[in-house]
Structure 1
Amino acid sequence: MNNQLPPPPAQMMQLITGFWTSCCVYSAAKLNIADHLKDKPQTAHQLAEATHSDAPSLYRVLRALSSVGVFKENEDHQFELTSLGNTLQTDAPGSMKAMAIAQLGDHYNAWGNLVYSIKTGHIAFDNIEGMSVWKYYEMHPEEGVNFIKAMSGLTGAVIQHVLPEYDFTSFNTIVDVGGGNGALLVAVLDKAPQAKGIVFDEEYVVAETKKLIAKKGFSSRCETAAGSFFEFIPENADAYLMKMVLHDWNDEQCLQILNNCNKAMKAGSKLLVLDSVIPEGNEPHPGKFMDINMLAMTGGRERTEKEFASLFSNAGLKLARVIPTHSPMFSIVEAIKE
């Protein structure tokens, strides 16, 4: 077998045209192809009828995606789901369908305007849309709901690959700051039966969160609190969770959040930040490109261990340790109030 790399121009062509694959994935997600293939293989003609699409055009896209392992074309020219394609099902654990629709939908133009962020240090999305992404989601509720679903898909990955790396059984009260629909905190409480929890988020978010908590049977152990983490955070918990919160904001904004966290924490309380931790050097790491997403979309950033330590120190907290996990996107960054 020839394991030689292709020549540099061919390698560069692969890098340049990576968005071709992404756009095909986006199309499959928008057309619900994985949902249609959940129960049995189907031909492109059958899928075209179900999705009101042009069969020859759809076949070409499915053939391309089969070449990269998203689907598989069998001898009867039917398309089947693969383990990779399963992640595009709407209700799959850790579903990436909503993420595909967000990244190649409302995020796409900002990435096309990345040079603006590089030259100015300002947010490409704001420049394109004339508002922050958070305001955009308020004004475009369909896209906003999809983004919440995308974050829920990442929460599924955290529950599966990250939570097993940490022992929560020493905590009696846990607050999930920016906790969204509560799925993460419910999973933590399931691993820590002695603990009670609070999901803290904006009013319009936690209004729906209560329903999920009740559906999961955790109403007696988990409540919600509404507010902005830029103003206050619920007090006196043993542990505070922040999943993909700090990476949305610049250092000044993060310091404001962490100062409020410090005010809320008691001596010995722990803060557990679930974010990428960018390694030093040239090794590949998904956080290095997620960092560019933050540059273009929110003005936030992914951080190195040293940058986390500095940020915590400025807020009167101490970095205790960084715990790698089975998900390359996430580490558990533990800080303590002494």
Structure 2
Amino acid sequence: MDHEDDAADALRRMAGLATPMALRVAATLGLPDRLLGDGASVERLAAELDAAPIALDLLLAHLATLGVVERTPTGYRTSAYGEHLRLDAGNGLTDLLRLDTAGGRAELAFVELAHSVSTGRAAYPRRYGQDFWADLAEHPHLRESFDRQMTHRFREQLPRIVAGVDWSRFSSVVDVGGGQGSLLAAILTAHPGVRGHLVDLEPTAADARRTFTAQGLDDRARVTAGSFFDPLPAGADAYLLFDILHDWDDEHAHRIMSRCAEAAHPAGRVLVVEAVAGLRADSESDLAMLVIFGGRERGLDEFRALGSAHGLLLDGVTELTDQRCLLEFRLSADG
């Protein structure tokens, strides 16, 4: 095979959908958990799953080619490699891959990528009839999986995010769209002089209350159930937007920044933590933001313009982790 054939074969493999879908269906069916130990026969597994035996065998054969399962004299069993797809593996993969979770369902919107490229809009509503956030509101199991995914997403980076910012400068921090409260709880634990206020929609807000109670922070942490498109608790020293703005198009991102600017006191700060194009963003994530949300990973000039429209000046940029930067905005004197 010559170089041109090698290149064509590599491109074909990158474009193929069989492998990524096989892995997602395997995770959705729970095959890595069902095939532990000595494994199981195709017939028994098909009966348990109410699946077509021949079709299930075809799926398992491809998973064996990938090294996810191993053939046994009587059927298949999960390999050591495939155990990374178990529910209890602790790596968050199941919430990203299963077709009945928010992450797995959302990525199927990539089949409508051409629509997003043509229009600049999210493909998710085209595939599912409503946007991602409406889907989460309507289906509690999707919201629950999304909250887990978001908590797991930055778990390993949490110590660096807490240590990489002098949070003690602020007597009060409002975590805008703060999810289940893991980040704010870590900040408050590390800095006993700081008080926190988290804003998110119910029932995520209820989860945050439980997080703060479990960590003994009820005396310094408040929770308000609400949207960041509505007025925010006023007068705090800092308003934190962690992985928020890239989920939204420009119109909605401006609305969020406007709420932060109007709530902050004159010496207050708006802290944006997320990937920044050209610094800590990757092209795959950029496409995902477009397809799922109609958003994108913005560059520094875009962030400057976004803040400036609301009297906010970009005052500093810190590369916190290999995935995220801190952008610190202050109110301009004539804002």
TM-score normalised by length of structure 1 = 0.81
Secondary structure, aligned partner of 2:271: strand
1:296 paired with 2:291, answer yes
Q: Distance in 1 between matches of 2:163 and 2:41?
A: 42
Cα pair 1:176 1:198 within 8 Å, conserved: yes
**2:97 counterpart residue number:** 100
SS in 2 for 1:259: helix
The offset of 1:258, in angstroms, is 0.8
Query: Is it true that 1:334 corresponds to 2:325 in the alignment?
Result: no
Mapping 1:23-38, distance limit 5 Å: 23-32=21-30
Letter in 2 for 1:12: L
Aligned match of 1:263: 262
In structure 2, what is the equivalent of residue 325 of structure 1? Answer: 320
Structure 2, unaligned stretches of length 5 or more?
A: none
Which residue matches 1:129? 128
Offset at residue 33 of structure 1 (A):
5.3
Structure-1 residue corresponding to 2:276: 277
| Aligned-partner SS, 1:42 | coil
For residue 316 of structure 1, report the CA deviation from its aligned partner.
1.1
Conserved 8 A contact 1:177-1:200: yes
1:314 aligned to 2:309? Answer: yes
Are the equivalent residues in 2 in contact too, given 1:44–1:58 (CA < 8 A)?
A: no
TM-superposed deviation, 1:16: 0.6
In structure 2, relative to structure 1, the CA distance for the partners of 1:79 and 1:124 (3 Å cut) is closer
RMSD: 3.3
Q: Distance in 2 between matches of 1:162 and 1:25?
A: 32
Gaps of 5+ in 1: none
Q: Share of identical aligned residues, percent?
A: 26
Within 1, Cα distance between the matches of 2:128 and 2:262? 36
**Contact 1:175–1:237, Cα closer than 8 Å, also in 2:** yes
| Partner secondary structure for residue 225 of structure 1 | strand
CA distance change for structure 1 residues 91 and 271 in 2, over 3 Å: closer, same or farther?
A: farther
CA distances 1:45-73 after superposition (whole Å, capped 9, x unpaired): 2899689466855653543443xxxx686
Following superposition, the deviation at residue 178 of structure 1 comes to 0.3
Secondary structure of 1:322's aligned partner: strand
Which deviates more, 7-16 or 157-166? 157-166
Counterpart mapping for 1:182-193 below 5 A: 182-193=181-192
Match in the other structure for 1:22: 20
Report the counterpart of residue 215 of structure 1 in structure 2.
Answer: 214
Question: What CA distance in whole angstroms lies between the structure 1 residues aligned with 2:89 and 2:194?
Answer: 29
The code of the aligned residue for 2:64 comes to R
CA distance in structure 1 between the aligned counterparts of 2:306 and 2:136, rounded to whole angstroms: 28
Whether 1:205 and 2:207 are equivalent positions in the alignment is no
Q: Is the 8 A contact 1:107 1:125 kept in 2?
A: yes
- Once the two structures are overlaid, the 10-residue window that deviates more, 53-62 or 152-161, is 53-62
Alpha-carbon spacing, 1:10–1:256, altered in 2? closer, same or farther (3 Å): same
Partners of 1:88 and 1:95 within 8 A in 2: no
Q: TM-score, normalised by structure 2?
A: 0.81
- Distance (Å, rounded) in 2 between the aligned partners of 1:251 and 1:45: 51
**2:92 aligned partner, one-letter code:** S
1:331 alignment partner AA: C
- Whole-Å separation in 1 of the counterparts to 2:97 and 2:276: 23
Alpha-carbon distance change, 317 to 48 in structure 1, aligned in 2, over 3 angstroms: farther
Aligned mates of 1:325, 1:88 — CA distance in 2:
31
Structure of greater Rg = 2
1:175-254 → structure 2 map (5 Å cutoff): 175-254=174-253
The structural deviation recorded for 1:327 is 3.4
| Count of aligned pairs between the two proteins | 320
The amino acid of 1:243's aligned partner reads F
Instruction: Map Cα deviations across residues 115-150 of structure 1 (whole Å, 9 max, x no partner).
Output: 112222333221222222211222222222222222
Q: Could you tell me how far apart the structure 1 residues matched to 2:141 and 2:234 are? A: 34
Match of 1:42 in 2: 37
* Counterpart mapping for 1:118-197 below 5 A: 118-197=117-196
Matches of 2:314 and 2:85, distance apart in 1: 35
The answer to whether the Cα contact below 8 Å between 1:34 and 1:81 also exists between their aligned partners in 2 is: no
